[in-house]
Structure 1
Amino acid sequence: MLALRDLEASGRAAVIGGHAPSAARREAFAARWGAKVFAEQAALLAAPGLDLVLVLAPPGAHLPVAQECIAAGKHLIVEKPLELTVARGEALVALAEAAGVRCGVCLQHRFRPASLRLKEAMLAGALGQPLSASASIRWWRDDAYFAQPGRGSMARDGGGVLLTQAIHTLDLLLHLMGPVRDAAGFALTSPLRAIDTEDVVAAALRFENGAIGVLDATSVARPGFAERIEIAGTRSSAVLTAQRLELHGIDGGAPAVFGDDGAGGGGADPMAFDHGPHRALITEMLDAIENGRAPSCSARSALPVQRLIEAVLADAGRRG
C-alpha cells in the first residue's frame, strides 16, 4: 500500500510485521516490506510495538481474525466489506465495542477531498433539503480480474458488484444522504464470466429524510467509467464524479468546481486510483487511537451500506 509507504516515510507509522496462512504470501510480504513475517497470527499480535492491525483477508475471514485481534487488545482497520453478512458484521462491531477496541473499515471514498467538500456543504445547508439522489457505478472488470481463484463467488466474496465494487460509492451516498428506509431492486448475473454473484443491479431507493433516488451498478460496462453521485435539493444540486465535485447554485450560473478528473479504479485496473484517501483514512484512525475516540469511518458506520445491499438483493430475489 502506497499509503503505508507515505506514513512510514513521514515517521507517522511503522510496519511491525505481517502474517498470512500462505507461505508464498508471507514471502511476498517480506520481500515487499523488508519486515518480519509470522507463521502464526498470535505471534504477530504479541510483537512489541504493535498497536494497529490491518485486516486484509477475504471477507469471510474478517470476523475470526478480528476476534483474535480484539482479544489481544489491538485496534484494527478491516478491509471492505466489514463481513460477508450484516449479522456477522454486527457481531464484529459488538465484540470491538465491548472490548473498547477502535475498529475502522476501509471505505476511503469518504476521505476524498471532493467528498469532504460536499459533506461540508450539505451540513452547512448549501443544498437545502435533499429531494433526489442517485448513484451510478458503471465499471468494467476483465477476464484477468476474475481469473483469481474464487473471485466473484459467493463462497469467497459473499456478493458481486454491490458488495465487492459498488460498496464504496454506496457507502459515500449514505454518508452524505443518511440511511435508506425502503429499497426495490433488480439484479442479474451476466453471461460474460463464470461467477455465481450479481454483476448488474438497478434499484429504487427512499431515504429516511424523505428523498428518493436510484442506484445503477454494474461491472460489465466496457471500458469502465467514473462513478457518479448526484444530489438535488431545494436550494442547489451537486454532481460528484469520482474526485471532481460540481456545486450548482439557484442562480443558474457556472458551477463551483472542486477537485479533478482523477481515476477512480472503474476500469480494468482496479488499483488505478489515488492513494491519498487511504492515507487520510489510516491517519484519522491513528489520531482516533491517540485521542481515545472512535474513528469517523468506524465499523458501526459501515453497517448501513451492508444493510442496504442485503435489502436490494433480497428484494431482487423475491422478484426473480
Structure 2
Amino acid sequence: MLKIAIIGAGAISRAHIEAYLAFPERCTIVAVSDIYKDKAESRIAQYQLNEAKAYSDYEELLSQDIDMVSVCTPPYTHAEVTVNFLRAGKHVLVEKPMASSLEECDAMIQAADESGKLLSVVAQNRFRTPMMKLKSVLDSGLIGPVVHSQVDSFWWRGHCYYDLWWRGTWEKEGGGCTLNHAVHHIDALLWMMGRPTELLAFMSNTSHDNAEVEDLSIAILKFADGSLGQITSSVVHHGEKQQLIFQGKEARISAPWELVASSSMDNGFPTPNPTLSAEIQAYYDNLPEVAYEGHAGQIDNVFSAIENGDPLLIDGQSGRATLELILGIYKSASTENKVQFPLTADDPFYTRKGIQENVPHFYEKSSSVENFQDRSITMGSSLKKV
C-alpha cells in the first residue's frame, strides 16, 4: 500500500485526489499540504480522506513515511518542491508545466537519477483512448509520411482569470497560454512527431490587460524530414474547440477522430479513396480502449513502474522536451528571430533569470486576489475527446 501526499490544494489537486481514490487497494492519501492550511483541511473533508492530515509547510513531510507525492503547486515552485522530495527518497508526480526553465528541469532530472526515485510529469491526455489510438495509427504508417501537423489549443478565459496573485506573471506562472494551456497538446505533438529542428513564432496579449504574459501565440515548425507544423495557443477562443491534425501523403487523421483519404484523378484533382479509408478505420476501431483515463491512467502507469518495474511512459526527459519547445516559441516571439533546437545551457532562455530578462511584458499586474472561491474548473469542451 503506497502512502501518498498531495502538495498544493488548489483546483488541480482534485484531479489527483480523485485519481488516487480510484486505486484503494494500491494507495492511501496520508497528507495534504498547502500554504493556506484551511484549503488542505477543506480538501480532506471534501473527499473524506480519513487517514490524511493537513499541513501548511510541505517540508514537514520530507522526513515522514511517504512513498510518493503529487506536486500541484504554482509552476515557479515545481523545481524546488520536486527536488526536495526526490532527495528525501520519495517518488514524484509533478503537474505541468514541469518547471519554469530548462535549468530547473535538469536539476530535477539529476535529483531523480541520483536518488533512484521516479519522476513523472503530468501529461494526462496521452492516457485517453482517442489519443492512444491516434498515436497507433500514425505509427502504423497507413497514412504515409506526415507532411503537415496542426495543433489548435483553443481555450477561453475571462479577464478575472489573471486576477489570482501568481497568474499572469513571468516570475510566478512562467508564461501564459503557451506554457500553461497548450502544454498538453504540445506534449502530444512531440510524442507523435518528435522535436522540430527550427521554428518561427509570434505572440500577443489581446484581451487581458491584467497579465504580463501572452494570451495568444502562433508558431510555425520545420522538422528534419522537411515536413511543416503549426501550433496555435490561445485563451481567447470562444467554444474551446481543440484538435490535433496530421496530414499524411495518403490520408488525413485527427483527434477528435476524423479520417479523409484521397486519390488523384488523371488531372491531379482529388477523389475519395474508400479502400484506404476503410482499412484505416478498421485498424482504428480494433485498437483497445485504455483501462484508466486521464490522471488515473498516468498514476496507474507510475504505480506499475514502482510496483513491477514497468516502463515509465512520461518521465523527466519527456517533460523537459515539452518545455524546450515552449521556450523556443517564447524565444522566437521575443527576439523576432527564427530559433533552432536544441537550446543549449549558454542560451539566455535556459535559465529563469534569462527568460525574465528577455520576454516582453505586455501589461503590468497592478492588483491581485489571494484566492478564488473554490469552484470547478473547465477542462475544455473537446479536450477529453482529444
Q: TM-score, normalised by structure 1?
A: 0.86
Contact in 1 for aligned 2:151/2:244 (Cα 8 Å):
yes
2:18 partner letter: R
Task: Work out which of the residue numbers 140, 145, 149 in structure 2 matches 1:133.
Answer: 149
Contact in 2 for aligned 1:102/1:294 (Cα 8 Å):
no
Partner of 1:134: helix, strand, or coil? strand
Task: Work out which of the residue numbers 272, 276, 300 in structure 1 matches 2:317.
Answer: 300
Match of 1:201 in 2: 217
2:34 partner letter: A
- Runs of 4+ in structure 1 over 4 Å off: none
2:217 partner letter: V
For the residues of structure 1 that align with 2:299 and 2:114, how far apart are their CA atoms?
Answer: 22
Deviation at 1:249, TM superposition (A): 3.5
2:72 partner letter: L
- Counterparts in 2 of 1:191 and 1:9: CA distance versus 1, 3 Å: closer
**Where do 1:1-320 residues align within 5 Å?**
1-2=14-15, 4-5=17-18, 7-11=20-24, 12-33=26-47, 34=49, 35-48=52-65, 50-221=66-237, 223-240=238-255, 244-250=256-262, 252-253=273-274, 256=281, 276-319=293-336
Contact in 2 for aligned 1:178/1:208 (Cα 8 Å):
no
Partner of 2:165: helix, strand, or coil? coil
Partner of 1:65: helix, strand, or coil? helix
For the residues of structure 1 that align with 2:57 and 2:163, how far apart are their CA atoms?
Answer: 28
Q: TM-score, normalised by structure 2?
A: 0.72
For the residues of structure 1 that align with 2:157 and 2:73, how far apart are their CA atoms?
Answer: 21
Higher mean C-alpha deviation, range 66-75 or range 37-46: 37-46
For the residues of structure 2 that align with 1:202 and 1:184, how far apart are their CA atoms?
Answer: 9
Partner of 2:239: helix, strand, or coil? coil
Runs of at least 5 residues in structure 1 that lack an aligned partner in the other structure: 260-274
Contact in 2 for aligned 1:73/1:99 (Cα 8 Å):
yes
For the residues of structure 2 that align with 1:128 and 1:200, how far apart are their CA atoms?
Answer: 32
Higher mean C-alpha deviation, range 157-166 or range 249-258: 249-258
Query: Quick check: which has more Rg, 1 or 2?
Result: 2
Deviation at 1:169, TM superposition (A): 0.7
Deviation at 1:282, TM superposition (A): 0.9
- Counterparts in 2 of 1:6 and 1:178: CA distance versus 1, 3 Å: closer
Deviation at 1:174, TM superposition (A): 1.0
Provide Cα deviations, 1:250-285, integer angstroms capped at 9, x if missing partner: 5533673979xxxxxxxxxxxxxxx93111011111
Provide Cα deviations, 1:153-203, integer angstroms capped at 9, x if missing partner: 112200001001111111111111111110100111124331000111111
